[in-house]
Every structure is written in structure tokens, then in C-alpha cells.
């Protein structure tokens, strides 16, 4: 990424807002936030076409979307957390949805963590416009295959294999340009899970993964010297737009129009690849 202007200048803050808005709109919509951050940096001139986007940007912008999910799904977070704690001491609680939801999230987080920790450095080299464009084309293909709806609508209806499949899909989405929300939700839709439950489980898995990335990436953000002003603007912009994107996504899932994002991804990827050839 090009050297940013001094902390606090209007251009630096404007860059932070743009990247925060891109993160907020694309983290939950099935179009890949990491991929769009790379493309935004390229299209707006924050980075050269073949230059990788700093990992610290991904981590900083994720703060706002993490908070958006935490607030928007606070009922599910509380249900899973309290259900898990009660289930540790009560057999009756282990028959409730809260206990099952917590186990699904914990089990699904295992393959995500294994893939993320093992292959993180491998996939970081793909954090540039051309490989991201190729991955966006793949994401479009994944979305195009998505069933409109599934039948299983309660956490207790899901099996350990469902959580592992979702966690594997989320882990592979460490590849920039592969949508985390898109791949996990579609994977669950393929397994006949109701769209709303698939989205809720996907975003609860995101909370765990995002928290892990934040903890492991504190040093990355500090070393990048983004500046407190830029971090604050990124967080605020990604929180507000992320909240709006969450609400919109649930409406789209209810209407069965998830695959509509595929043509958009193919168009953006094609234009970016063309831009790289012409440049």
C-alpha cells in the first residue's frame, strides 16, 4: 500500500472511511470483503495493481463489522453463551437450542482455525488485484449454485457434520476474494439448512474467527502505524454500513435472491482484470 499521508490529514481519513465502508458493505453480503478491500485500494489509487494490501487494513476494518454482528445478533450470542454454560451442569439445558448452537459454533471454528493458522502466510501472497479477481469469479460460481432455501430451521436439527462443513468453507475463505459469508451460507444451504439459520450460524462463526484474527493481529496493526484517527474512522464506517448490510442480507435470503450477486462479481472481476491488462 502506498505510504499514507500524515495521521489526521483529510486524505488519510477519507481513505479510512472508504475502506471502512467497503468492509461494512461486503463482509456480510456474499461478495468478499477482503477481495473488495484489495480492489478498492487498487481502483482508488491507494495501492498499485499488483501490490498487496496490508494485512493490518483487513484487521482494523474488521473491528467495526465484528461489533455490528455482536450487536445485531446479541440475542443469539446470549442464547449460545448462556445455553453452553447451563448445559455444562444441566442435562435439561443440553436439550435446548442454546446448547446446540454453542456446540455448532465451537465445532465449526476448529477447521477454520486449523486452515487459517496453517495457510495464512500462503494466502497472503494472493492479496492483490489479479488473484483476487480470479477468486471473485469462483465466488460467483459458488453463489450461482445456491439453493433458494433449506428445511432444517432449528439448531437442534443440525448435526456435527453441518458445523464442520461450514467451518471448512469459512477456513477456505481466507483466500482473498472467496466470500466468507457466501461460502458458509451456501455450504449450509446445500445441506438443507434454512437460509436464516445458515446466516445466523455463519455470522456467529465469523465472531469467533474475527476475534481470533484480531488477537493474533494486534502486532500487525501496531507495526503498520495506521494512526488512531484512521482506525477510528475505519471502525465507525464499517460498523454503520455493516449493520445496514446485515439487515439487507436477511431480507435477500428470505426472498431467495442470493445468487443475484454472481453477475456483479463476474463483472467487477472482469473489469479489474481488463484494467490490469491495459495498465
pLDDT of residue 2: 37
Exposure b/e, 101-133, CB count within 10 A at least 16 = b: bbbbbebbbebbbebbeeeeeebeebbbbbbbb
Mean pLDDT of the chain: 85
Q: Is the pLDDT of residue 272 over 80?
A: yes
Query: 31-83 pLDDT, tens per residue?
Result: 998 888 888 877 876 655 544 556 667 777 788 899 999 999 999 999 999 99
Q: What is the pLDDT of residue 7?
A: 43
CA separation for the pair 126, 51 (Å, rounded): 10
State whether the Cα torsion 248-134-127-226 is positive or negative. Answer: negative
pTM: 0.85
Mean pLDDT for 227-241 is 86
Kindly report, residue by residue over 110-159, the tens digit of the pLDDT: 999 999 888 777 776 777 889 999 999 999 999 998 887 888 999 999 99
Of 106, 130, 118, 124, the residue nearest 208 (C-alpha): 106
Q: State the Cα–Cα distance between residues 261 and 183, nearest whole angstrom.
A: 13
Span 191-204, average pLDDT: 94
Contact present, 116 and 214 (Cβ < 8 Å): no
Say if CB 188 and CB 229 are below 8 A apart: no
Instruction: Give the span between the Cα atoms of 165 and 192, in whole angstroms.
Output: 12
> pLDDT of 236-269, one tens digit each?
999 999 999 999 998 888 887 788 899 999 999 9
Amino acid at each position: 500500500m502506498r505510504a499514507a499521508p500524515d495521521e489526521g490529514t483529510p486524505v488519510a481519513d477519507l481513505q479510512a472511511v472508504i475502506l471502512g465502508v467497503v468492509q461494512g458493505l461486503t463482509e456480510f453480503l456474499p461478495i468478499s470483503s477482503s477481495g473488495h478491500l484489495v480492489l478498492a485500494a487498487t481502483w482508488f489509487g491507494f495501492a498499485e495493481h499488483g501490490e498487496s494490501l496490508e494485512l493490518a487494513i483487513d484487521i482494523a476494518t474488521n473491528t467495526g463489522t465484528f461489533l455490528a454482528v455482536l450487536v445485531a445478533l446479541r440475542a443469539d450470542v446470549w442464547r449460545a453463551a448462556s445455553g453452553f454454560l447451563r448445559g455444562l451442569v444441566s442435562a435439561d439445558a443440553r436439550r435446548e437450542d442454546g446448547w446446540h448452537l454453542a456446540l455448532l459454533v465451537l465445532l465449526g471454528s476448529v477447521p477454520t482455525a486449523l486452515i487459517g493458522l496453517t495457510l495464512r502466510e500462503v494466502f497472503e501472497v494472493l492479496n492483490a488485484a489479479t488473484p483476487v479477481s480470479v477468486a471473485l469469479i469462483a465466488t460467483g460460481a459458488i453463489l450461482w449454485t445456491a439453493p433458494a432455501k433449506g428445511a432444517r430451521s432449528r439448531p437442534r436439527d443440525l448435526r456435527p457434520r453441518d458445523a464442520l462443513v461450514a467451518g471448512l468453507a469459512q477456513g477456505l475463505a481466507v483466500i482473498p476474494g472467496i466470500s466468507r459469508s457466501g461460502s458458509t451460507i451456501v455450504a449450509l444451504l446445500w445441506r438443507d439448512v434454512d437460509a436464516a439459520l445458515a446466516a445466523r450460524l455463519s455470522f456467529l462463526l465469523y465472531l469467533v474467527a474475527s476475534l481470533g484474527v484480531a488477537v493474533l493481529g494486534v502486532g500487525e496493526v501496531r507495526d503498520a502505524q495506521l494512526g488512531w484517527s484512521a482506525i477510528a474512522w475505519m471502525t465507525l464506517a464499517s460498523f454503520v454500513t455493516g449493520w445496514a448490510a446485515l439487515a439487507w442480507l436477511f431480507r435477500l435470503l428470505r426472498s431467495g435472491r442470493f445468487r443475484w450477486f454472481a453477475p456483479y462479481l463476474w463483472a467487477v472481476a472482469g473489469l479489474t482484470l481488463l484494467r490490469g491488462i491495459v495498465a
